[in-house]
Amino acid sequence: MSYQNIAAALSPQDIQEIKAALQKIQQKMPFLVTLSTEERRKLVKMGDKSLAFVNNSVTAAQSNREILPATFDVEELVRDYQLATTLTELLISVQQLAEQVDDTLMAVGSEAMTSSLTVYDYVKTASKKTPGLKTVAEQLGERFKAIKGRPTKAASGS
């Protein structure tokens, strides 16, 4: 769907139901782990190009059990492979949803910022003649003050 002005809202009940659905998804996968950067670095990676290799390894292991050590668990290899392919499929769906949420957040955030900039311009202009708006204009203007050592967006030309 192409982007147009977003006019939507989520009710508190919708938000609660979405969070409950996400929690339910996590409950369905109690085996999920969180890896540290170091752990991720040390692991042997299975990417798209390795999928055929692993699939062929599973077939070879199942067909030639006698050449493998007795301690090698072929069924565990099969389970790992099946879970990896299933998680890959689920990850694609989750990534698509995350991308849509991220794009929608960017679009609606842009809409809110654009409208807020319009409000700020009107408040700045009106504060010169309307009592009580000077403080509001200054408060809104805080967003554009430069951080020490960093130029403002306007000053940097961005």
Q: Is 132 left (phi over 0), alpha (psi -120 to 50) or beta?
A: left
pLDDT above 80 for 11: yes
> What tokens does 125 get?
């202009």
Residue 98, pLDDT score: 98
On the question of pLDDT at 156 being above 50, the answer is no
Whether the pLDDT of residue 1 is over 80: the answer is no
Query: pTM (2 decimals)?
Result: 0.76
Report d(CA 97, CA 91) in Å as an integer. 10
Distance CA 147, CA 85 (A): 48
Give the CA distances from residue 113 to residues 53, 83, 130, 147, 150, in Å, rounded to whole numbers and listed in that order: 49, 43, 24, 20, 21
Tell me: the pLDDT tens digits for 72-131? Answer: 999 999 999 999 999 999 999 999 999 999 999 999 999 999 999 999 999 999 999 999
| Angstrom distance (rounded) from CA 154 to CA 158 | 6
**DSSP assignment, residue 23?**
H
Taking the chain, what is the end-to-end CA distance rounded to the nearest angstrom?
A: 30
What was the pLDDT predicted at 49?
Answer: 86
Rg of the chain's alpha carbons, rounded to an integer? 27
Region 47-57 average pLDDT:
92
Give the whole-angstrom CA distance, residue 3 versus residue 27: 34
CA distances from 55 to 46, 60, 79 (A): 11, 9, 12
